[in-house]
Amino acid sequence: MEMVTVYIDGVEIKVPSDYTVLKAARKAGIKIPTLCYLKDINQIGACRVCLVEIEKARGLQASCVYPVSEGLKVYTHTPKVLAARKSVIELLLSNHPQECLTCSRSTNCELQSLAKEMGVSDIPYTGERTIHDLDLSSASIVRDASKCILCRRCVSVCNQVQQVGVLGLIDRGFEATVGPSFGHGIGEVNCTNCGQCINVCPVGALRETDHTKRVWQALADPSKHVVVQTAPAVRAALGEEFGLPMGTPVTGKMVAALRRLGFDRVFDTDFSADLTIMEEGNEVIDRLVNGGKLPVITSCSPGWIKFCEHTYPELLDNLSTAKSPQQMFGALAKTYYPEIEGIDPKSIYSVSVMPCTAKKYECQRPEMAQDGIPDVDAVLTTRELGAMIRRAGIDFVNLPDEVADAPMGLGTGAADIFGVTGGVMEAAIRTVYEVVAGKPLPNLELEPVRGMEGIKEATLDIPNYGEVRVAVAHGLANAGKLMDAVKSGKKQYHFIEVMGCPGGCVGGGGQPLVTSGQRLDLDEEYQVVRRKAIYAEDRGKTLRKSHDNPAIKEVYEKFLGKPLSEKSHHLLHTHYTCRGKYNVEIPEAQAAAKK
Amino acid sequence: MSCKCGSAVKDERFVKIDQILEQNGRDESFLIQNLEQIQTALGYLPEDVQSYLAEAMDIPLSKIYGVVTFYSLFTTEPIGKHKISICLGTACYVKGAGDILAEFERQLDVKVGETTKDGKFTLQACRCLGACGLAPVLNVNGKVFGRLTADDVAGIIGQFE
Ligand code: SF4
Ligand code: SF4
Ligand code: SF4
Ligand code: FES
C-alpha cells in the first residue's frame, strides 16, 4: 500500500493511503471519540461525534469517513471541535432516559463514557422525549428503544453480517426508531436470536433476557441440586469481564468461581460436545454408507437452526437430528446423572453458561423437554456469569485453578474446538475418519477449515470410503451464500458445518462486549485473539478425539447402549419446524437474481 | 409465525406486482419506482405486499419498510375517498388543533391515521401547512378550512358525506 504523510495536531506521521483520519490519528496516539462508527461493520458518518478540523476543508469533518491524503493537516481538539462534539452528545442526551444508575450498560456504555469525556455537566435542551415500551417478546433479546441513539450499528450487523434483515430504520425525524417492521416484537419475527445486535449496540438499547434471577433463586433453594455446564467458548472470553487480556484461557478459575457461587456440581459442555460427535459423527457415517440425505449439516448452533427454519425450509431434512451439546447435556443431567448418583431427578436444576443468546430460546423450545420438564432450566451468557461473580464479590483473577467434576465434566480437545468456526468439522473428522478408515487420522489439525474466511472447503480421502467433501461457514450471511450454492446444485458436499456467529462461538452474542475503541486498537479480529485460547486448550490435552473420552465410553456402556440407539434417539435427537420468513402469507415469488 | 411453504395465495394484487416488476426491473435501484406504481395500482402498501416485494426483489423487508415509512407519500393503510389532514404544527396546536382532532376521532370513530369502515374518510395529522394565520387549519382533498373550533367538525364531515 502506498504511504502518505499527514499531520495530526502538528505531529508528522506516515500512514497507508487507504486510512481514514480516525485511523491515522489513532496511530499518532490521538483517540478521537466515535459513536456510530464500528470498524468493518458500520461506517456511515451519521452521528458527528468524531468531528475534526481539517486545514482548507470547510466546516468540521467526520473523521471516521474522511480519507487521508498527502500533506493533510488535521486538528483534533481545537475549541471549535470540542464544543461541537459536546453539543452532539448534549443533543443525544436531551432525548435520552438518563437511567444510568439502573441501566444494564452502566459503566460499560459508550454514550455514558462520551458524556464524561466531553465534560457534559448538565443537559441544556429539555425538549420532548420519545417514549417507547420495552419489547419483551423474545426469549433471548430485550429491546429498549427509548435508549436507542439511532446509530444503526445493529441494523448493519443484522442486514449485512447476518443478512437476516430484521432490524431497520423506521420513520424519520423525531419519530425515527430502529426495530422490526410493522411494529412487530423482535420475538414475533424471523429474528434468529443470534445476539450480534447486542454485541454492537453502544448503549443499553439491546440486551439479553435476564436469567440470573432464576439462577440465584435456585442456588438459594436447598431442595434443588443445581448443576452447571460451561460451553467451550466461555473459558476463552470470561477473563475479559475481569480485565484479563483477551485470549487468556480461564478454565480453572471459572470452575473455582462456579463452585464458590454454590453450584452443587460443576460440569462441562465439553462432555456433551464429545457426545455430539459420537451421535452426529455416526449419523454422517450412516448417511454416507447407507445413502441417506446429503449433505449432512451440523445442528449445534441454535441461531443457525432458526435461520434455516425461516429461510431454507427445503434443507431441514439435511440438518443433523443431533441436539446441540447444551441440550444433550441437559437431557442427561436429568436422566443419566441422577440415576448414577441416586438423586431424585425432579430435584435437579440444570444451568448452562453459554457464549450465546440463541441458547436461551433453544432451551425453551417445546421439543427440548421430557414430560414437560425442560432439559435446561436457565441459560446464562458469559456476560451474565461475569455479573454474578462480581455481585458475589469473588476475586476472580486471584482464584486458584480447579478441575470440573466427573463424570460429566470430562472433555477432550475435540470438544474444546467446538468454540471456533471449523471446530465441529475438525472434531467430527477426527472421529469419522478413524471409525471408517479403521486407523487414526495422520494429522489431527485440519488447517483448511481453520481461520476467518467466510466459507472454507476441504476434500479428504478416507480409506474404505473415498473422497469426502466438506464445507464450513460462519456468520449467517456466509451460511446463506453456502446454502444457495447447495440448493442450486452448484456445489456438492457430504458434510457442512455452520455456526451462526462470525468466528463461531468465540464471537457469540453472549460474549463480553468489545467496544468500538477496542476493535480499533486490535490488529486482528477479536474472534481471532480469543480463538488462540481455544486452540491452546486443545493442544494442551492428552485426549484430543471424542471417542477416546472415558466418560463417553462409560455413558454408552452404562446408559445409552451405543450411538444412535433407541435411547439416544429419544434423549439426544430432535426435529425441526418450518417457520416461514414473513408474518403474513404470500405466494411464492420469482426472486430477483441473487446478488 | 408458522410455516407458509407451498401455500398458493391466489390474489390479483400479486399478479399486478409481478407485472410492475417485469416492466421496471427487480434491482434495488428500482425500489422507489416500484413502490410508487404498486401504491398507485393497489391504493396502499400493506404488510403482505411489502413482504412479497421483499421476496421478489431479494431485499430485506426491513429496508422496504424503512423506505415506505420514510416518505410520507407512501401509506401502509388504505386511504378513504376523502382525506382529512389536520395540521398539528406549533401554531395550530397552540390554538386547539388537538381538540379538533379528538372531535374528528370521536365523530368518525377512527384513530388518527385510520380510515372509516365505509372507506369514506381517512383522518391524518400533518406538519405545518403554511397557513398559520388561519390556525387552526385543516385540509380536505386539497381544500383548506381555517380558524376552526370543535363545533365546525360536524359541518365539515357533512359537506363530504
Ligand atoms: S444507555 Fe448508557 S447513557 Fe443511557 S441510561 Fe444506559 S448507561 Fe446511561
Ligand atoms: S438477534 Fe440477530 S437476527 Fe435477531 S435482530 Fe439481532 S442481529 Fe438480527
Ligand atoms: S439499538 Fe443500539 S445499535 Fe441499534 S441503533 Fe439503537 S443504539 Fe444503535
Ligand atoms: S460520524 Fe464518525 S463516529 Fe459517528
A391 class by beta-carbon count within 10 Å (0-12 exposed, 13-18 middle, 19+ buried): exposed
Q: Is A205 in the pocket of ligand 3 (CB under 6 A)?
A: yes
- Cα dihedral sign, A509-A510-A513-A519: negative
Q: Are residues A370 and A470 in the same domain?
A: yes
Ligand 4 geometric centre to CA of A37 (Å): 5
The predicted structure's pLDDT at residue A564: 97
Predicted local distance difference test score (pLDDT) of residue B89:
85
A395 and A459 share one domain: yes
* Residue A366 sits in the same domain as residue A384: yes
Domain boundary among B70, B96, B117: B70
Q: A43 and A11 in one domain?
A: yes
In this prediction, residue A149 carries a pLDDT of: 95
Supply the pLDDT for residue B8.
61
Closest by Cα among A409, A400, A354 to A253: A400
Compute the nearest-CA separation of B95 from chain A (Å).
19
Q: Which of A149, A175, A209 is the last residue of a domain?
A: A209
Regarding whether B153 and B116 lie in a shared domain, the answer is: yes
Q: What pLDDT does A592 receive?
A: 59
Q: Is residue B87 part of a domain?
A: yes
What's the pLDDT score for residue B77?
Answer: 85
How many separate domains does chain B show?
2
DSSP A125: -
Same domain, A55 and A162: no
**What's the grid cell of residue A425?**
468439522
Position B5 in a domain: no
For chain A, the straight-line distance linking the first and the last C-alpha, in angstroms and rounded, comes to: 29
In a domain, B77, yes or no: no
What integer pLDDT is reported at residue B107 of this predicted model? 93
Are A543 and A494 within one domain? yes
- Would you say residue A194 lies in a domain? yes
Instruction: Please name the member of B1, B14, B69 whose beta carbon is closest to the beta carbon of A188.
Output: B1
Place of cell 439491546: A206
Residue B127 lies in a domain: yes
Under the banding of pLDDT at 50, 70 and 90, the label for residue B31 is very high
Q: How many CB atoms sit inside 10 A of residue B160's CB?
A: 14
CB A402 within 8 A of CB A255: yes
Do the domain assignments include residue A97? yes
Is residue A548 within 8 Å of A70, Cβ to Cβ?
no
All residues of chain B having their beta carbon less than 8 Å from the beta carbon of residue A361 are none
Give the domain extent around A200: 141-209
Q: B146 and B99, same structural domain? A: yes
Residue B97 belongs to domain with CATH number: 3.40.30.10
B69·A158 Cβ contact <8 A: no
CA of A143 to the centre of ligand 4 (A): 23
Question: Which ligand 2 atom is the nearest neighbour of the CA of A186?
Answer: 5
* Predicted local confidence at residue A251, as pLDDT: 97
In terms of domains, do A383 and A499 share one?
A: yes
Please give the Cα distance from A34 to A420 (Å, whole number): 30
Domain check: are B123 and B61 in the same one? no
Q: Are residues B91 and B154 in the same domain?
A: yes
Per-residue pLDDT, averaged over B77-100, amounts to: 88
Residue ending a domain, among B22, B44, B70, is: B70
Residues A180 and A55 in one domain: no
Question: Hey, is A155 helix, strand or coil?
Answer: helix
Q: Could you tell me if A149 and A35 are in contact, meaning their C-beta atoms sit under 8 angstroms apart? A: yes
Task: Answer with the one of A126, A154, A183 that is the final residue of a domain.
Answer: A126
Contact in structure between A339 and A559 (CB atoms under 8 Å)? yes
What is the percent of chain B where pLDDT is above 90? 57
Residues A516 and A382 in one domain: yes
In a domain? residue A491: yes
Q: Which of residues 19-48 of B touch A (CB under 8 A)?
A: 26-27, 47-48
Cα dihedral A92, A140, A298, A279 in deg (nearest 10): 150
How many domains does chain A contain in total? 3
> Do the domain assignments include residue B4?
no
Domain's final residue, options A155, A179, A209: A209
Mapping DSSP onto H, E and C, the string for A391-446 reads HCCCCHHHCCCCCCCCCCCCCCHHHHHHHCCCHHHHHHHHHHHHHHHCCCCCCCCC
Residue type, A271: F
Q: What pLDDT tens digit does each residue of chain A (595 aa) get?
A: 899 999 999 999 999 999 999 999 999 999 999 999 999 999 999 999 999 999 999 999 999 999 999 999 999 999 999 999 999 999 999 889 989 999 999 999 999 999 999 999 888 766 677 778 899 999 999 999 999 999 999 999 999 999 999 999 999 888 899 999 999 999 999 999 999 999 999 999 999 999 999 999 999 999 999 999 999 999 999 999 999 999 999 999 999 999 999 999 999 999 999 999 999 999 999 999 999 999 999 999 999 999 999 999 999 999 999 999 999 999 999 999 999 999 999 999 999 999 999 999 999 999 999 988 999 999 999 999 999 999 999 999 999 999 999 999 999 999 999 999 999 999 999 999 999 999 999 898 999 999 999 999 999 999 999 999 999 999 999 999 999 999 999 999 999 999 999 999 999 999 999 999 999 999 899 999 999 999 999 999 999 999 999 999 999 999 999 999 999 999 999 999 999 999 998 888 776 554 4
Tell me the CA distances in angstroms from B112 to A125, A360, A377, B88, B117, one per residue in order: 29, 39, 45, 12, 14
pLDDT greater than 90 at residue B128: no
Q: Are strands A225-230 and A265-266 parallel, antiparallel or unpaired?
A: parallel
Nine-digit cell at A130?
420519545
Q: What is the largest CA-CA distance in chain A?
A: 79
Does A580 sit within 8 Å of B47, measured CB to CB?
A: no
Q: Are residues B88 and B151 in the same domain?
A: yes
- The CA distance from A534 to A544, in Å, is 13
Structural domain contains residue A169: yes
Domain that holds residue B101: 82-159
Residue-level pLDDT at A588: 82
Residues forming beta bridges with residue A466, ordered by sequence position: A462
Option in A168, A587, A593 nearest B9 (CB): A587
**How many angstroms separate the CA atoms of A473 and A495, rounded?**
12
Residues B108 and B142 placed together within one structural domain of the fold: yes
Q: Are residues A45 and A163 both part of a single domain?
A: no
* Residue A46 belongs to domain with CATH number: 3.10.20.740
CA separation for the pair A359, A221 (Å, rounded): 24
Ligand nearest to the CA of A192: 2
Q: How far apart are CA A418 and CA A428, in angstroms?
A: 10
Question: What pLDDT shows up at residue A595?
Answer: 41
In this complex, do B62 and A188 lie within 8 Å of one another by their Cβ atoms?
no
Q: Which residues contact B153 (CB under 8 A, 6 or more apart)?
A: B100, B103, B104, B107
Q: Which atom of ligand 3 is nearest to the CA of A150?
A: 5
Kindly state whether residues A259 and A158 are assigned to the same domain.
no
Tell me if A133 is assigned to some domain.
no
Rounded Cα–Cα distance for residues A117 and A584 (Å): 47
Examine the domain organization and report whether B154 and B96 are in the same domain.
yes
Q: For the CA atoms of A239, A243, A247, A250, what is the dihedral angle to 10 degrees?
A: -20
Residue listed under C-alpha cell 417492521: A181
Residue A135 belongs to some domain of the structure: no
Locate A165 and state its grid cell.
434483515
Shared domain for A360 and A390, answered yes or no, is yes
- Closest to A356 (Cα-Cα) out of A245, A208, A242: A208
Q: CA-CA-CA-CA torsion for A125, A35, A420, A357, nearest 10 degrees?
A: 10
AA letter at A162: Q
Among A197, A109, A206, A208, smallest CA distance to A155 is for A197
CATH number where A165 lies: 3.30.70.20
Picking from B49, B70, B91, the residue at the C-terminal end of a domain is B70
Do the beta carbons of residue A164 and residue A176 sit within 8 Å?
no
Give a yes or no: residue A279 inside a domain.
yes
Q: What does the pLDDT read at residue B79?
A: 83
Respond yes or no on whether ipTM tops 0.85.
Answer: yes
Residue ranges of the alpha helices (H) in A488-565? 516-521, 526-539, 550-555
